[in-house]
Structure 1
Amino acid sequence: MQGKKSWTPAHLSLLCLTACICQSLYAQSAESEFESVVLPTLKIEAARTDTSWLETPASVYRIDQKNNQNNLGVNLTETLKGVPGLQINNRENYAQDLQISMRGYGARSTFGVRGIRLYVDGIPATMPDGQGQTSNIDLSSLDHIEVLGGPFSSLYGNSSGGTILTTTKQGQGRDSIEMGYSTGSHNKNRGDIILQGGADKAGEPSYVVSTSYFDTNGYREHSGSDKVLSNAKLTWDLADGSKINWMLNYVDITADDPQGLTRPLWQANPKQQVPYLRQFNVRKDIKQTQTGLTWSKPINDQHQIDAMVYAGNREVTQYQSIPDTAQKNPRHAGGVIDFERNYYGTDWHWTGKNLLPNTRITAGLAFDYMDEDRKGYENYVLENNLPQYGVKSDLRRNENNTLWNLDPYLQASWNMIPTVRLDAGVRYSNVHYESKDHYIVSGNGDDSGKTDYDKVLPSAALSWQIHPSTNLYASYAKGFETPTFTEMAYSANNGMNFNLKPGSSDNYEIGLKTQNLLGDFTVAVFQSNTQDDIVSAGTLDGRATYRNADETLRQGVELSWNKKLWRHLSAQASYSFIDATFDANVEEIRDQNDPDKILAAAIDKGNYIPGVAKNQAFIGLGWLPETGFNAGVDVKYMDKIYVDDINSDTAPDYITVNADVGYVWRNDDWKVRTYARIDNLFDKNYIGSVIVNDGNGRFFEPADGLNWSAGLSVTKAF
């Protein structure tokens, strides 16, 4: 690759310093005007620093669900809009979850979420090995989301290239029931019921209970799905100042998988499934139940204890498009993945305030455990010597996998002087894997094994309050990402790939935040140097394998602005530039049994990391009163995305426009909300996401064209 620029830390510092000088000059010239302005204080929970958004020395953003209600409420793409550095793609494939990456971390994922920590009401939605899912997040009862990027994410340990924390509403006021129904293109239907109520006095619980049903025929051929999601949260605010939250969550999904298309097939008909794949009836069934308890106890003005415990069960059965000829290899694990996973964990931490002058110290211990029974079956039976696909038949894999981690951590804040604060932390992240193989037959030996990964993760941030409305910070942290069990599941010889190393990174960020009459503005300049990054090693008989790249580099700039323009009219804008490249050559991998067969091509230094858009931009306007007419419009730009490590093709750049209108009527006992929206207003034919490094060249997952939805909800208070 020719003509690519390499940014140095000096370039990054110069850009941020220029922004800082300009902003400082502006702040000084308008100081007398802003001193009389009282701006709202928004506390940020994600960084655990007990600071406001302005004072938090990190790239952190809060999204309130009340401003994002004019939609179906099915997945996070409807809510997480315009967060700089966050790339969230809707595959139009409910069998594979959303594709989420942050500053280029997690982009390699072909399903589920990698490299980003997910939390629901303080409970991990990411397993100890770093694999997560968003399917159990209930938008009906959601209160807000916090998105934490950059170095501070390392405080959450393994696979925290970014952190997304969702929080359910707390029941308030009178008991009420809300019933809603929405419909839309492709026979989308969603109904939900929400019960909620506040506590009359200390010690009594407030509650929110939500359940919903969603089904659709799908935008593409063979992409139908149905989903049941239930969520409950009970909260006790006790007389001694302590608080208890108990959560229960259940999700049941059945989804067809349309899979990807080649470029010619996409251009011919983006709605189609590859004709050859229809015979396999590729699909996935998911069931998950989890529960958790959080407890916050202030002992006195200086000491506080916080604790969390959780447990869950997840079952997945997935039918794949692997022909019988490939499965005849005695080392092959079959065309049906079937596993049951039990998991549990706890996190306890103590916080001390002003034990030393102007300090805050947090010390904690996190434990997580996962036990998985994983089986594989053939996906066919023979009838008249011809394979009939889409059924579960003979056993081809049987193993028990366990993972656990025990992470101690320490975090401290020190106000050196009133306008300068130092935040520092360290976490010892360790993950222990073990696999016991119970499928040992002729030609398929014992693949049992175990390995341990660990890393000390220091972090530090220095912030300077230039002006009451302006804060400058610089931060550094060490990052750590282990391979997931799914990524370790296959290797060139079809056994467990215990040779995979964890990726480790050095992350730098300089940022500026300001909050004044012109709105909330942030700029962040970052650089991440990663060693042993986990990347594709090609596809072998339908199985994705992985390897380590010696060095990768991610660097860029993020800008965001939001402002209440007039009365109920608000504006939001953001821009992200991410230059994500391989920073060293990666050698090719050949088949051990056939040296002439290349399993994974060599990667040249300077190639772009696939799945990452170099430029993203967003702008939105919303008229958002509490009652009456409301409306919104937003425009999104996404740059082209490379589909594989050798940069052989791209998903083209695109611009989409979305618009919505609604009306809210309320009196003492009743509330009625209606909405209608159109997405992809100008019917752009574009690729919503790519299947990175697909071995068959079916990289492209087309996005929906012009589509609509509308809904009505009625709330009655008692």
Structure 2
Amino acid sequence: MPIRIIHTRLPGAMASALVLACGHAAFAQSAETDHHAATPPVRQPAKRSVPVVPVAPPAERITVTGSARGPATIRPAGQTTYSAERSSFANQVGQSVADMVVTVPGVSFVAGNGPRDVVVSVRGSGDRQSYGLKNIQVLEDGFPVTQPDGTARSDLIDPHAYDGVDVFQGPASTVYGNYAINGAINFRTRNGADIHGLELGSDFGSFGMFNNYVTLGVGGRAYDLMVFGSDVRGNGFIANSRYATSTENARLRVNVTDRDRLILKFINNVTDAFLPLRLSLEQYRLNPYQQGCAVAANAAAGCATVNLLVNGRYGATVARTPQQAGLGRFDRRTIVGLRWEHDFDSRTTWRNQFTYDQRHIDQPTSVASYVGPYNSYNVSTDVTNRARLGATNLTTFGGISFDDLDFGSQVYNVTPAGGATRGGLNGTSYGHQWNLGARFQEDWQFAPQWHAVIGLGGTYSDLGAIQNLYRYGPTGQSVTAITANRFFFNLAPEAALVYAPDRDWTLHARVGTAYATPTTSNLFVTPQGNYGNNTHLKSETSVGVDLGGEWHPFAGVDVQATGFYEFYRNELVSQSAGVNTVSAFTFNAPASEHRGVELGAEWTPLRRALPGGRIRLSYTYDNQVYTDYTEMMSGSGLSRAFDRSGKNIPGVVPNFLNARFLYDQPDGPLEGLGGYAEVTWRSDYWLDNANRLRAPAYQLVNLELHYDPPKRLGWVHRLHTYIEVQNLANQTYAAGATNIADVLLADGTQAGAAVLATRTGSIYAGSPRAVFGGVRVHF
């Protein structure tokens, strides 16, 4: 059962420690408990918290948000943090990471490229991307799952394997290094001691979805083991979106001695998915699910097609639907990590960690097919000392990290022959990216009610790659080589102050900084969406101010609010040039600002009469604007400059609201019966730099009902069942829309919304009404 520990005295190395996971510092508590009885999940509100401090200053007192049955929440000192616990997502279908983070303030999401490739955004970090998790560092159990080029994907995540997720918000490069421009996310898998046995489960429902999964868990004082595996398949609700995904996840902790611990981590994921094309807004309005589009010649209005070279090399093209072309993804990701923790004494801990991460892609997603391995290595070491400075507590952290990505990829033209048949070689890219970083942080509780944090981090990044571009014609082929050798050095200081006047109030203020370098893939795509020279890109940097508080006015009410204002320089923004191009392109906006508010609240309105009823609210307002950016546009033999200062940055969802009305029967004949009604609202948002075309808003209503039999019913209590209805009103909505480029007309003016609505490569529709059910049994 999730709890909040306000004052806890732990002996020696069991006290709070500042962790560097893949070179990232964070508070963690190393205490382990021994459990010998399984307990079914208890639905409780997801914990949302900012760093708090003890009201009195005795030695080795810590503040932790965590679980009474597992390790504490990993958190960087002084940073705005929100969490969602297993109780908020364990009783539903849990198809993707979106089900885990929907209740977290400051977090939004849109559809990516594939069944579980959800683009998760922290304060808009990934809103301008078409896939993956960008501009944030992502970890799992403290091990990095973001590669050195800033790429992380949510395909790896089956929510059934997890105990919770912690979201660290705002500029965070002091702690997390390169690409932590908007923060970090740490996913926590379940503890073996909590599972204490074997769980078998199945989810099934609309569009042929079927997920079989198994979880094994055992644990004691000297060890803890969790092993999870799942296989999910479905037909999808858009034409050409059938998929099959398998995931294996394991974590083993062994206490080798009283002072030494080893933690082994393993993740493997295979995604085999057919992929539809993204639509223009006009196509989406006509045919959102791309029905009747199997054959281009007979395609109904609103179908998306791609123009493929007839001979696979040059010359004439022919239109093909995704089904005819065989578009899709076959990707494999394998991560293996090992961490050794050693306590020199009761106050000093040394941690060493190594992670190997291989991402292998085979992606015929449009006119081109991308093939290649991306192998990365991450090593880090750090020391944490918890000392006394007079009558006050001082925690000092220092660490270094190194990560390296070595890749070699090929891009082939897709031919009209079907089955994603490869034609001529379009291009090759070989190179590396490595980051060498150092972190230092002081955390000082200088008075009973005051807590101060200062820190400094820096990273030296080296990007080197060569791209060979192949061009074909009647007389033969030519090869053009483009070389990129870029070096970046970035520093990120931070300072935070936390004030806790009493147990009902916690106030915090923070100034954080962050940076993100371009990736090698950004350097080789031109504004026309074709392969070429874009090697002039600079690092983006930001400075952000957070002001927030947590308030418990009386029993049954918890409120947390944070306001943020962030100043960006050379912000890296991506947008699509259309379906019949190889990729989105990236540019630097010289200056921009992000400002907004995050609000989380939970209320038990009738604590005595209806103790099982609760209301949970999560709201994010995110306003991002260019303050200095002039865009050059070309077309019809003309070139013109347009000032975008004051324009909203496209792709950013300004309003995201989730409200849940929950009830769980705590006793009586219906004990264990519960459910919720959920409303999710996302406002419309701009899709282009000129702010002429918007993606439409949506409002969704979801219902869930579950039953966890009480222990008094004997073996029946080991059975969990649920049923869920998503999109109850069967609304047609845009689940994801990537940015599009503006168009310059022949008279030198910019095209209006009517023309931009025909620009392809942007929109994926969301699911129509869907019904799911599931059962889980514990042995």
Normalization by structure 2: what TM-score? Answer: 0.79
1:463 corresponding residue in structure 2: 498
Assess, with a 3 A threshold, how the Cα gap between structure 1 residues 139 and 419 changes in structure 2: closer, same or farther: same
Q: Structure 2: how far apart are the matches of 1:95 and 1:316?
A: 16
1:399 corresponding residue in structure 2: 429
2:540 corresponding residue in structure 1: 503
Alpha-carbon distance, 1:109 to partner: 0.8
Give the alignment of 1:356-367 within 5 angstroms: 356-357=389-390, 358-367=393-402
- CA deviations over 1:410-455 (Å, ceiling 9, x no partner): 0111122111121011110222111134667854322122111221
Q: Specify the code of the residue in structure 2 equivalent to 1:309.
A: F
Alpha-carbon distance, 1:303 to partner: 0.7
1:690 corresponding residue in structure 2: 737
Give the alignment of 1:5-84 within 5 angstroms: 40-41=5-6, 48-49=26-27, 53-55=50-52, 57-84=78-105
Of 606, 611, 616, 2:651 maps to 611
- CA deviations over 1:104-146 (Å, ceiling 9, x no partner): 2222111222111111121212111212111112322211100
Q: Structure 2: how far apart are the matches of 1:559 and 1:398?
A: 47
1:157 corresponding residue in structure 2: 177
Alpha-carbon distance, 1:570 to partner: 3.2
> Secondary structure of the residue that 2:155 maps to in structure 1?
coil
1:345 corresponding residue in structure 2: 378
Q: Structure 1: how far apart are the matches of 2:741 and 2:350?
A: 48
> Secondary structure of the residue that 2:481 maps to in structure 1?
coil
Q: Structure 2: how far apart are the matches of 1:211 and 1:389?
A: 30
Assess, with a 3 A threshold, how the Cα gap between structure 1 residues 632 and 643 changes in structure 2: closer, same or farther: same
2:765 pairs with 1:702:
yes
1:87 corresponding residue in structure 2: 108
Q: Structure 1: how far apart are the matches of 2:771 and 2:460?
A: 47
2:352 pairs with 1:315:
no
What runs of 5+ residues in structure 2 fail to find an aligned partner?
Answer: 8-15, 30-48, 53-76, 294-302, 307-320, 472-476, 743-758
Q: Structure 1: how far apart are the matches of 2:693 and 2:614?
A: 39
Alpha-carbon distance, 1:259 to partner: 2.0
Assess, with a 3 A threshold, how the Cα gap between structure 1 residues 194 and 510 changes in structure 2: closer, same or farther: same
1:228 corresponding residue in structure 2: 246
Q: Structure 2: how far apart are the matches of 1:571 and 1:474?
A: 28
- CA deviations over 1:244-294 (Å, ceiling 9, x no partner): 221111100011111222223222221116243413322111111111112
2:276 corresponding residue in structure 1: 258
Q: Specify the code of the residue in structure 1 equivalent to 2:364.
A: Y
2:139 corresponding residue in structure 1: 119
2:557 corresponding residue in structure 1: 519
Judge which range, 397-406 or 696-705, deviates more. 696-705
Q: Structure 1: how far apart are the matches of 2:659 and 2:504?
A: 24
Assess, with a 3 A threshold, how the Cα gap between structure 1 residues 439 and 697 changes in structure 2: closer, same or farther: closer
Alpha-carbon distance, 1:321 to partner: 2.6
Q: Specify the code of the residue in structure 2 equivalent to 1:321.
A: S
Alpha-carbon distance, 1:206 to partner: 2.3
2:569 pairs with 1:531:
yes
Assess, with a 3 A threshold, how the Cα gap between structure 1 residues 574 and 320 changes in structure 2: closer, same or farther: closer
Assess, with a 3 A threshold, how the Cα gap between structure 1 residues 280 and 711 changes in structure 2: closer, same or farther: same
1:643 corresponding residue in structure 2: 687
2:708 pairs with 1:664:
yes
1:300 corresponding residue in structure 2: 345
| Counterpart contact for 1:153–1:163, Cα < 8 Å | no
Assess, with a 3 A threshold, how the Cα gap between structure 1 residues 320 and 76 changes in structure 2: closer, same or farther: closer
| Counterpart contact for 1:311–1:343, Cα < 8 Å | yes
> Secondary structure of the residue that 2:492 maps to in structure 1?
strand
Alpha-carbon distance, 1:678 to partner: 0.6
Assess, with a 3 A threshold, how the Cα gap between structure 1 residues 572 and 54 changes in structure 2: closer, same or farther: farther
Alpha-carbon distance, 1:675 to partner: 0.6
> Secondary structure of the residue that 2:81 maps to in structure 1?
strand
> Secondary structure of the residue that 1:186 maps to in structure 2?
helix
| Counterpart contact for 2:386–2:396, Cα < 8 Å | yes
The percent of aligned pairs where both chains have the same amino acid is: 21
Q: Structure 2: how far apart are the matches of 1:152 and 1:449?
A: 28
1:557 corresponding residue in structure 2: 597
2:387 corresponding residue in structure 1: 354
Aligned length: 654
Q: Structure 2: how far apart are the matches of 1:560 and 1:612?
A: 20
| Counterpart contact for 1:610–1:643, Cα < 8 Å | yes
Alpha-carbon distance, 1:465 to partner: 1.6
Assess, with a 3 A threshold, how the Cα gap between structure 1 residues 174 and 73 changes in structure 2: closer, same or farther: closer
- CA deviations over 1:324-382 (Å, ceiling 9, x no partner): xxxxxxxxxxx11111111111222111111534211110111111111111112116x
| Counterpart contact for 1:151–1:475, Cα < 8 Å | no
Q: Structure 2: how far apart are the matches of 1:538 and 1:227?
A: 27
| Counterpart contact for 2:173–2:515, Cα < 8 Å | no
| Counterpart contact for 1:122–1:308, Cα < 8 Å | no
Q: Structure 2: how far apart are the matches of 1:578 and 1:293?
A: 38
- CA deviations over 1:173-210 (Å, ceiling 9, x no partner): 685221111111111111011111113x53xx321111
Alpha-carbon distance, 1:77 to partner: 0.9
2:236 pairs with 1:218:
yes
> Secondary structure of the residue that 1:488 maps to in structure 2?
helix
Q: Specify the code of the residue in structure 2 equivalent to 1:166.
A: F
> Secondary structure of the residue that 1:485 maps to in structure 2?
coil
| Counterpart contact for 1:95–1:257, Cα < 8 Å | no
| Counterpart contact for 2:663–2:675, Cα < 8 Å | yes
Q: Specify the code of the residue in structure 1 equivalent to 2:543.
A: D
2:193 corresponding residue in structure 1: 172
Judge which range, 404-413 or 96-105, deviates more. 96-105
1:674 corresponding residue in structure 2: 721
> Secondary structure of the residue that 1:113 maps to in structure 2?
coil
Q: Structure 1: how far apart are the matches of 2:643 and 2:720?
A: 53
2:774 pairs with 1:711:
yes
Assess, with a 3 A threshold, how the Cα gap between structure 1 residues 152 and 518 changes in structure 2: closer, same or farther: farther
Alpha-carbon distance, 1:648 to partner: 2.3
Assess, with a 3 A threshold, how the Cα gap between structure 1 residues 597 and 539 changes in structure 2: closer, same or farther: farther
Q: Structure 2: how far apart are the matches of 1:414 and 1:433?
A: 37
Q: Specify the code of the residue in structure 2 equivalent to 1:702.
A: A
Q: Structure 1: how far apart are the matches of 2:705 and 2:595?
A: 38
Q: Structure 1: how far apart are the matches of 2:78 and 2:504?
A: 14
1:27 corresponding residue in structure 2: none
Q: Specify the code of the residue in structure 1 equivalent to 2:775.
A: L
2:211 corresponding residue in structure 1: 190
Alpha-carbon distance, 1:102 to partner: 1.8
Judge which range, 490-499 or 38-47, deviates more. 38-47
Assess, with a 3 A threshold, how the Cα gap between structure 1 residues 174 and 414 changes in structure 2: closer, same or farther: closer
Q: Structure 2: how far apart are the matches of 1:678 and 1:456?
A: 48
| Counterpart contact for 2:240–2:276, Cα < 8 Å | yes
1:15 corresponding residue in structure 2: none
Normalization by structure 1: what TM-score? Answer: 0.86
Q: Specify the code of the residue in structure 2 equivalent to 1:509.
A: D
Alpha-carbon distance, 1:650 to partner: 1.0
Assess, with a 3 A threshold, how the Cα gap between structure 1 residues 96 and 260 changes in structure 2: closer, same or farther: farther
Assess, with a 3 A threshold, how the Cα gap between structure 1 residues 57 and 514 changes in structure 2: closer, same or farther: farther
What runs of 5+ residues in structure 1 fail to find an aligned partner?
Answer: 1-37, 323-334, 382-386
| Counterpart contact for 1:246–1:294, Cα < 8 Å | yes
2:630 pairs with 1:586:
yes
1:247 corresponding residue in structure 2: 265
Judge which range, 349-358 or 575-584, deviates more. 349-358
> Secondary structure of the residue that 1:448 maps to in structure 2?
strand
Alpha-carbon distance, 1:475 to partner: 0.9
Q: Structure 1: how far apart are the matches of 2:88 and 2:574?
A: 39
Assess, with a 3 A threshold, how the Cα gap between structure 1 residues 420 and 174 changes in structure 2: closer, same or farther: closer
Assess, with a 3 A threshold, how the Cα gap between structure 1 residues 575 and 76 changes in structure 2: closer, same or farther: same
Of 288, 296, 299, 1:270 maps to 288
Alpha-carbon distance, 1:389 to partner: 7.3
Q: Structure 2: how far apart are the matches of 1:676 and 1:95?
A: 21
2:298 corresponding residue in structure 1: none
2:514 pairs with 1:474:
no
Give the alignment of 1:139-158 within 5 angstroms: 139-152=159-172, 154-158=174-178
| Counterpart contact for 1:138–1:231, Cα < 8 Å | no
